[in-house]
Amino acid sequence: MPKRKPTLTEPDAAAFIKAHLPLAPVNAIPQIRLHRAQAASGLWRLAQSAKQDFVAPYWAYPWAGGIALARYLLNEPAAVAGRCALDLGAGSGLVGIAAAKAGARQVFAADIDRYALVALGLNAAANDVTLTAIGGDALAGPVPTADIILVGDLFYEAALAARVMAFLDRCAGAGRDVLIGDPGRAFLPLPRLCRRAEYEVTDFGDAGTAARTSAVFSIKRAAAEMSEEHPA
């Protein structure tokens, strides 16, 4: 039985990202720069190294929901200033970086993709902020100690969206604030959400892509909770 080719080590992955994914400003957020894939970045080399362990490299591109949420945090720093934030499904770390720049006391960045964790560490360093990376499936764990949960672009698949919303409901029920950035993907539960802001951004952050509206949402508070605070 042939041996499986070993995966890239973290130093190797970091060297690959720095060599092949140049730093570039995020469209609509020029004060944040990310290592971003280009046409000749050769991401297939990571796929060949990781074999079946390779996850689609969502971290290599800024997505519309993350761009909107990052923009919102920079425009409304009071949302995170002095607080502990969790960037759930952090990818490139864009939202977490924006939270840190907006004055968050501490920022955790969670992702299941080990290459995303390497990339977000490099991106944080390039933007002179600190993110604490968390690997593994945060959705299966307990409610985090963070004061606010930040979620960008996690509603693109039905099963994932259901798990994410169940986790966010647990967080909100435990008193955590939740902000979601999303351009209105198919499985975003709009009836459950309150729209906070809208921005015209490009998906994947590519200047050549047509702009689309992406919004920032919070979770609606339960009617029972509202009635307790405002009795008839």
Q: Is residue 34 part of a domain?
A: yes
Residue among 80, 93, 90, 74 at smallest CA distance from 31: 74
Enumerate the β-bridge partners of residue 199: 214
Other Cβ atoms closer than 10 A to 201:
26
* Sheet architecture: strand order including 193-202: 132-135, 106-111, 84-88, 148-152, 177-182, 211-219, 193-202
Q: Is residue 213 part of a domain?
A: yes
- pLDDT for residue 33: 97
Q: Is residue 168 part of a domain?
A: yes
CATH number for the domain harbouring residue 80: 3.40.50.150
Q: Is residue 4 part of a domain?
A: no
pLDDT in tens, 11-70: 688 988 898 889 999 988 999 999 988 766 566 665 555 554 555 678 888 999 999 999
Split into its structural domains, the chain has a count of: 1
**Hey, what are 49's tokens?**
């190294």
Q: Is residue 3 part of a domain?
A: no
Q: Quote the radius of gyration of the chain (alpha carbons, Å).
A: 18
pLDDT in tens, 142-192: 999 999 999 999 999 999 999 999 999 999 999 999 999 999 999 999 999
User: Cα dihedral angle (54, 56, 59, 62), rounded to 10 degrees?
Assistant: 170
Which of 30-40 are b and which e, b meaning 16 or more Cβ less than 10 Å from the residue's Cβ?
eebbbbbbeee
Q: Which domain holds residue 64?
A: 10-229
